Structure 1
Amino acid sequence: MRRKTQTKDKIIIAVVLACFSATYFCSWKDDVLRKFVYPLQYDYMVRQYSYEDGVSPALVAAVILVESKFNEDAFSHRGASGLMQIMPETGEWIAGEMGIENFTPDQLTNVQTNIKMGTWYLAYLLHEYDGNKVLALAAYNAGRGHVDSWMEEYGWEKNFSEIEKIPFTETREYVKIVLLNEQQYKHLYKF
């Protein structure tokens, strides 16, 4: 009888310890995720330009995370630069549309300029594709020309949502991960 009581006590202690450990882990896991997996550097600028352009700050943060991992010195082998990895030609076009005078591609390495222009461009693409995040993100990654040609070639409408049908593997994976990251940013930062 005594052995059954000892075993029962051990089980109760193990359950209590497991519950305590789970509660303790849950209390700090979001902090760990914010610090190491889903950082939000330049929080003020991300929020400010997102609100000005009517874009979810979680989406902007998700794009930055995938594009540069918040590395302001990021450069791609194709020539894109800055946090939001803007190509020089795209930067020149954005600057013209935004009315930024005397723009030079070197300005894309400035954090504030890069976030401001990248967020504006993301808002532009969302507007261009009637709020469709899949098409807007595909255009951000592969270019508007590719997305427009896919829409024409495959008969996609502006309500297109079948990510798996995006012809470029890189773009398909990009869209998936940005959308996943957006959900995490919404949860972790209460956007």
Structure 2
Amino acid sequence: MKWLRKKRVLLLLFIGFTAILFLSTNWMSWFYPIYYKNEIRTHSTTYEIDPFLVAAIIRVETNFKTGRESKKGAIGLMQLMPDTAKWALEKAKLPDVSLERLKVEPSANIELGTWYLSSLSRQFKGNRVAVIAAYNAGPGKVQRWLNEGDWDGTEAAVKNIPIGETRHYVQRVIYYYDQYTEIYNEF
């Protein structure tokens, strides 16, 4: 009987400890971590982009793993296509940034990717969902979909995005964006 009582006490202590641990910490952040917070915060402030959007795009693109190159040739944490990166480097006038640095240096890649998001945000007048779609499919395609009425640019109509890959991409980025904004009080 004493043995059974000891087990119950240990079980209650374990449950109590676990409850305290979960209630006193932001335990959901264990499942949805954000790496490179300082870089994201700095560049998001500079280019006036929501840092949670940058983090969600990085999460979907590379899950915060550096040195990635996609089958299509996209490079770095934010998976910028080389042609887009070259164009953005010319427009952004970033000193000392090269394609090689974009592949391996998180800060350089996050800066250029955030600058590009800012450019897309201006082009699509702050429409976050259209910006996400344009980041994946390209601004020309997204503008054509909007002009031709294939998609209205809203989150409610994401299912109408003509390209399945982009539709799925937008849904995933929005999912992580929502998780991050719910879990983290501030960036």
TM-score (norm 2): 0.82
The aligned residue for residue 129 of structure 2 is 134
- Note if 1:169 corresponds to 2:164: yes
Map residues 113-124 of structure 1 onto 2, 5 A cutoff: 113-124=108-119
Q: Determine the C-alpha separation between the residues in 2 that align with 1:21 and 1:172.
A: 43
CA distance, structure 1, for counterparts of residue 172 and residue 154 of structure 2: 17
8 A contact 1:38–1:65 mirrored in 2: no
The one-letter amino acid paired with 2:26 is: D
Q: Which structure has the bigger radius of gyration? A: 1
| 1:63/1:84 contact within 8 Å kept | yes
Residue 90 of structure 1 is aligned with which of 59, 63, 84? 84
Q: CA RMSD in A?
A: 2.5
Residues 171 and 29 of structure 1, relative CA distance in 2, 3 Å threshold: farther
Q: How many residue pairs align between the two structures?
A: 173
Do residues 143 (structure 1) and 131 (structure 2) align? no
Flag as ranges the 4+ runs of structure 1 deviating above 6 A.
none
Within a 5 Å distance, the mapping from 1:1-191 to structure 2 comes to: 23-24=19-20, 26-27=22-23, 30-31=26-27, 33-35=28-30, 37-100=31-94, 104-109=98-103, 110-154=105-149, 160-161=154-155, 162-191=157-186
| Alpha-carbon distance in 2 for matches of 1:89, 1:107 | 15
CA distance in 2, matches of 1:76, 1:22: 41
With 54-63 and 93-102 compared, the bigger mean Cα shift is at 93-102
- Amino acid aligned to 2:114: T
Contact 2:40–2:110, Cα closer than 8 Å, also in 1: yes
Determine the structure 1 residue equivalent to 2:9. none
| In structure 1, distance between residues paired with 2:96 and 2:178 | 37
Instruction: Answer yes or no: is the 8 Å Cα contact 2:89–2:112 preserved in 1.
Output: yes
Letter in 1 for 2:143: D
List gaps (5 residues or longer) in structure 2. Answer: 1-11
Equivalent AA in structure 1 for residue 179 of structure 2: Q
Q: Provide the secondary structure at the position in 2 that maps to 1:147.
A: helix
Instruction: Give the CA deviation at 1:52.
Output: 1.1
Query: What is the TM-score when the length of structure 1 is the normalising length?
Result: 0.80
Superposed CA offset, 1:50-83 (max 9, x none): 1111111111100100010000111110000111
